[in-house]
Amino acid sequence: MKRLLLAVLAVFSLAAAPAGAEDRFITLASTTSTEQSGLFGHLLPLFKAETGIEVRVVAVGTGQALKLGERGDADALLVHDRAGEDKFVAEGFGLDRRDVMYNDFVVVGPSADPAGVKGGKDAAEAFKKIAAAKAPFASRGDDSGTHRSELRLWKKAGVDVKAGGEWYRELGSGMGPTLNTAAGMNAYALADRGTWASFKNRQSLAIVVEGDRALFNPYGSILVNPEKHKAVKAADSKAWHLWLSGPKGQAAIAAFKIGGEQLFFGDAR
């Protein structure tokens, strides 16, 4: 009876104990492309095994991720819109923005290729042809890094999509759902290569344009400034930031592959 009482007391003692090291975590605001490509499923267990720190990802568009950082609802960011990142740091919301990796965007479209762009290397020229043909185009329309890059390409092509028509669909969705919609309606779309590689519901979609320098897609890691928000977990988020931009994080990024294809390339300096 005494032994049973001691066991019961031990259980209650453990339940009442304060959270231990295993409960350490940071909140990372990042993109749907890094989440849906499977990259985080590869990286985060490696980081936690080494440091004991869990990284909880809020996967949204880059614009939304930057807003989360501004409000102090994240401890660190991993995003891909350099102009937005520089503005975030310049306004004092972020610290120590670092290049950590890159991949590229690809233009995908139906195998029938009604706009006649397949095999081209000039993304803006392809966009001009898509608009001229009024071929269906599925846009994320969510202020993500991908959406911002897409809008820059339309501008370069001299096309005002706001004055477009039925052919241009702004969806307000992440990369995976946008590709699902594009597949269902035989539409063109701009996609990051990582999500495209892991996307299974391609139907008639295929890459039609790739290799343009304008499709280069760099990612930056940024610490949220603890002087703006006292609740920011500065030490643990810095551990993540340094690991990701250091030799072990860079090696882990290079090791992530789908079907033998490397999808992200370390770029820390």
pLDDT of 113-141, one tens digit each?
999 999 999 999 999 999 999 999 999 99
Residue 120 in any domain: the answer is: yes
Which residue, of 215, 233, 256, is where some domain finishes? Answer: 215
Whether residue 60 sits in one domain with residue 86:
yes
**The total number of structural domains that make up the chain:** 2
- Residue range(s) defining the domain that contains residue 37: 18-102+218-266
Whether residue 148 sits in one domain with residue 98:
no
In whole numbers, what is the pLDDT of the chain averaged over residues?
Answer: 91
Whether residue 108 sits in one domain with residue 98:
no
CATH number at residue 176: 3.40.190.10
Whether residue 130 sits in one domain with residue 200:
yes
Composition of the chain by helix, strand, coil, percent to 5: 45, 25, 30
Whether residue 146 sits in one domain with residue 246:
no
Residue 245 in any domain: the answer is: yes
Residue 9 in any domain: the answer is: no
Residues 46-80 have pLDDT tens digits of 999 999 999 999 999 999 999 999 999 999 999 99
What number is the average pLDDT over the span 142-149?
94
Whether residue 203 sits in one domain with residue 260:
no
Written as six digits, the tokens of 20 are 């231990």
Cβ-contact 221, 57 below 8 angstroms:
no
Residue 124 in any domain: the answer is: yes
Whether residue 178 sits in one domain with residue 122:
yes
The answer to whether residue 10 scores a pLDDT higher than 50 is no
* Among 20-24, 186-190, 201-205, the least confident range: 20-24
Whether residue 108 sits in one domain with residue 209:
yes
What pTM was computed for the model? 0.83
Whether residue 150 sits in one domain with residue 117:
yes
pLDDT of residue 228: 96
What percent of the chain shows pLDDT beyond 70? 91
* Nearest-angstrom CA–CA distance, 142 and 17: 43
The answer to whether residue 20 scores a pLDDT higher than 80 is no
The answer to whether residue 110 scores a pLDDT higher than 80 is yes
Residue 6 in any domain: the answer is: no
Distances (CA, A) of 129 to 150, 191, 210: 15, 18, 15
Which residue, of 215, 233, 258, is where some domain finishes? Answer: 215
pLDDT of residue 164: 67
pLDDT of residue 23: 83
Four-point Cα dihedral 223, 229, 234, 237, nearest 10: -50
